[in-house]
Each structure stands twice: as structure tokens, then as C-alpha cells.
């Protein structure tokens, strides 16, 4: 294949997948990879590097950290056919601008549902069971200061509680299945795109008498989000981020929550008004929170309100690692690569196109 016809593909992180390297070795694509200072290509590509290197690209693989906007599209130029993001979320991509230029956009749904659901459940359990403060006590060699006592480090169980979901798509539904064995009494949700939910597909055995344990859980749509706030003991924020969902959890929402309730967000930081959340926790409107995402991440200084003494022991904050299982990240990388190759015509079609 001559150089002219060889599609240029830019990867803004070194992708843990063989297929692109193989095609590049075989001379079928021109692969330009961000290496970064350490040569490993795992740190985010700098904007300068991206803008400089995407000129003439047919396809660009991006992560959440790469903003695909007018400037990006202009820097790539008219050759660009496809942008493939190694994420299910695509709020970092200007879809309208891509559409106007005929640039396809691919993402990596489904393969991460279970991993994100597992991590989200972990956050809920950590927050409700006071793990941040309990584990800090031991790590700091201070266990003897708070030996076993009837009510120390107590928090609510999931059993018998009302669990609320803001958004009830694939990840929420995977999480709902994980929650069933914990025996909540109700699962209520609000969703903009209703999807059929079959609780009986939960992957666990029926009881000895043959009945299905989920019979005891009431599952219902609660479109009034204020009511969902009032009734839930744990609220999972699992909606996608867009102009309609920004700060869907705001001061008014938090004030309607129970003082014993917990908020868990593992979708996108700006769905929750962070300032209001810090107030809600420090002033006791709610009991605590589990967060895998935060507004303005990853630039979260130690002076952040949620990291101050009046909040820090009531929140679990993780650095956006919901999908970080080995299996999931390899599957996401493979899909992102297949989407790009499908988009430039080297495979038959994209696997997922937004």
C-alpha cells in the first residue's frame, strides 16, 4: 500500500491492544502514538501534542481527557473520518460539530457495565459502613483509641432500605442486579430513556422453596426526582452528563434527602453540585457520599471542601476508576480500536457508533 492511501491513525494514549500495532507493522496504517515523558504513553497527551499530530489523521482515538471541539476538528482537517473514545461517556466530544463535518464517533458501551456496577456498590458499602474513618484509625496505629464498642463505626445496612437511581440505563441495571441479594425493600428510579428491566435475570439461585427472592423487592419508576430524593436511603447517580443533567443533584435536591441517606456518584462529576454537597455533608443534611467522579477532576487540591475535617470522614472519593478492571480495560481498548478501524474502512463498520 502506498503512503498516500495508508490511513493515519493517532492514539492519544498507548492502547493496550495488539491490533493497531500489528496493522502498523504490516504497513496498513500509519500509527502515531503519544509516548509521554516516560515513553509509556499512559499519562494524558498534552493538548499541544494532540493538535500538532492529528493533522491529516483519518481516525483519532481519544480518552475522556481529550476535548474534541472545533479547534480539534480544524487541526485534524478534512481527512478526519472517525473519532473513537475509549469510554462509554462522550460528553467531551462536540457531537454536533462532528456531525456537521461528517466525522463518525464511536464509544465503548456494555463491556464496562459490570465493572462500574461493582465499583459503585463498593462505594456505597464503604460510605455506609464508615470505612474511610475506620480504616484510617488502623492505618494510623490508633486502633486502641477506639476499641470495639456497641455503636462505634455503625452505619445502615442495605437490607430493607429504599434504593434510588437517577438514571436507569445499563450500568444502573447491572448494579440493581448486584443489589438484589442485599435485599433492599424497594428500588426506585427515574430515567429519560426507559429500558425494560427484568429482575428475574438476576444471576442467583431461587430459595429452597423454589420462590424467587426478588419477589420481595418493589421496583418502580419515580419520575418526580424530589420524591426520589425524599424516599431513598441510598441514591445512585448514574445518568449521562449533558446540558439537562448538569447539577441534577443541587442544593434543593440535597435538602430533600434524609439526614441518614447517602449519595453515590460514579458517572460524571458535574451531575452533582459539589459546593452544595460539601454543605450538605458538613451541615448534616445527608449522612455521607461515595464519589468516583468530581467536578473539575483531576484537579482536586487538598484544600477541596470535601477533603476538609467536617466532610472527609463521611466521604469516599476515588480517582475515576469505575471501569478499571484488567478485563474491562482490555475490552474497552479492543472496542475503541475496532471502532476506529471500522470508521476508516479497514474493518466492516464500527462496533458502536454514537
- Residue numbers annotated as active site: 268, 297, 320
Contact criterion met (CB below 8 Å) for 87 and 324: no
Which residues pair with residue 59 across a beta bridge?
A: 9, 82
User: Hey, which residues between 110 and 139 contact ligand DGY (CB under 6 A)?
Assistant: 112
Q: In the bound complex, what is the minimum distance in angstroms from residue 201's beta carbon to ligand DGY?
A: 23
Contact criterion met (CB below 8 Å) for 59 and 32: no
Q: In the bound complex, what is the minimum distance in angstroms from residue 271's beta carbon to ligand DGY?
A: 12
DSSP 28: S
Contacts with ligand DGY by CB under 6 A: the residue count is: 6
Q: In the bound complex, what is the minimum distance in angstroms from residue 93's beta carbon to ligand DGY?
A: 11
Nearest Cα to 130, choosing from 262, 318, 277, 276?
262
User: Hey, which residues between 319 and 338 contact ligand DGY (CB under 6 A)?
Assistant: 322-323
- The contact mask relative to ligand DGY for 277-316 (x = CB under 6 A, - = no) is ----------------------------------------
Judged by CB under 6 A, which of 16, 36, 41, 89 binds ligand DGY? 89
| SS3 assignment, position 106 | strand
* Candidate segments 83-91, 129-137, 225-233, 337-345, binder of ligand DGY by CB under 6 A: 83-91
Which lies closer to ligand DGY via its Cβ, residue 14 or residue 186? 14
Judged by CB under 6 A, which of 88, 119, 123, 336 binds ligand DGY? 88
Nearest Cα to 54, choosing from 77, 82, 20?
77
87 touching ligand DGY, by CB under 6 A: yes
Residue 260 to residue 233: CA distance in whole angstroms: 7
Residue 32 to residue 53: CA distance in whole angstroms: 8
Please give the full DSSP string across 31-96, using - where no structure is assigned. Answer: EEE---TTSS--SPPPHHHHHHH-TT-SEEEE-TTS-BSHHHHHHH-TT--EEEESSS--TTB-HH
Q: In the bound complex, what is the minimum distance in angstroms from residue 112's beta carbon to ligand DGY?
A: 6
Q: In the bound complex, what is the minimum distance in angstroms from residue 283's beta carbon to ligand DGY?
A: 30
Which lies closer to ligand DGY via its Cβ, residue 87 or residue 214? 87
Residue 222 to residue 201: CA distance in whole angstroms: 22
Binding positions for ligand DGY, rule: CB under 6 A: 87-89, 112, 322-323
Amino acid at each position: 500500500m502506498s503512503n498516500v492511501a495508508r490511513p493515519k491513525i493517532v492514539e492519544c494514549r498507548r492502547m493496550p491492544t495488539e491490533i493497531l500495532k500489528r496493522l502498523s507493522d504490516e504497513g496498513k496504517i500509519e500509527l502515531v502514538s503519544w509516548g509521554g515523558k516516560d515513553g509509556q504513553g499512559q499519562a494524558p497527551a498534552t493538548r499541544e501534542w494532540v493538535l500538532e499530530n492529528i493533522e491529516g489523521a483519518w481516525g483519532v482515538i481519544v480518552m475522556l481527557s481529550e476535548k474534541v471541539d472545533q479547534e480539534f476538528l480544524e487541526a485534524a482537517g478534512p481527512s478526519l473520518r472517525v473519532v473513537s473514545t475509549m469510554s462509554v461517556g462522550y460528553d467531551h466530544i462536540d457531537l454536533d460539530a462532528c456531525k456537521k463535518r461528517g466525522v463518525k464517533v464511536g464509544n465503548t458501551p456494555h463491556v464496562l457495565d459490570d465493572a462500574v456496577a461493582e465499583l459503585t456498590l463498593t462505594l456505597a458499602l464503604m460510605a455506609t459502613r464508615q470505612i474511610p474513618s475506620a480504616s484510617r484509625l488502623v492505618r494510623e496505629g490508633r486502633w486502641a483509641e477506639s476499641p470495639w464498642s456497641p455503636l462505634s463505626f455503625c452505619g445502615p445496612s442495605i437490607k430493607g432500605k429504599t434504593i434510588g437511581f437517577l438514571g436507569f440505563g445499563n450500568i444502573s441495571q447491572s448494579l440493581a442486579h448486584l443489589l438484589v441479594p442485599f435485599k433492599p425493600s424497594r428500588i426506585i428510579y427515574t430515567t429519560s430513556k426507559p429500558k425494560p428491566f427484568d429482575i428475574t435475570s438476576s444471576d442467583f439461585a431461587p430459595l429452597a422453596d423454589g420462590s424467587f427472592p426478588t419477589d420481595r423487592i418493589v421496583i418502580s419508576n419515580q419520575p418526580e426526582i424530589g420524591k426520589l430524593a425524599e424516599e431513598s436511603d441510598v441514591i445512585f447517580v448514574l445518568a449521562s452528563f449533558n446540558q439537562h443533567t448538569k447539577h441534577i443533584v443541587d442544593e434543593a435536591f440535597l435538602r430533600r434527602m434524609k439526614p441518614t441517606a447517602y449519595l453515590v456518584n460514579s458517572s460524571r462529576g458535574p451531575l452533582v453540585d459539589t459546593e452544595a454537597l460539601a454543605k450538605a455533608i458538613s451541615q448534616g443534611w445527608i449522612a455521607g457520599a461515595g464519589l468516583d467522579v468530581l467536578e473539575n477532576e483531576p484537579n482536586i487540591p487538598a484544600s477541596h471542601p470535601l477533603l476538609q475535617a467536617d466532610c472527609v470522614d463521611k466521604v469516599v472519593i476515588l480517582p475515576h476508576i469505575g471501569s478499571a478492571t484488567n478485563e474491562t480495560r482490555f475490552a474497552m481498548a479492543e472496542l475503541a480500536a475496532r471502532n476506529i478501524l471500522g470508521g476508516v474502512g479497514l474493518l466492516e463498520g464500527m462496533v458502536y457508533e454514537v
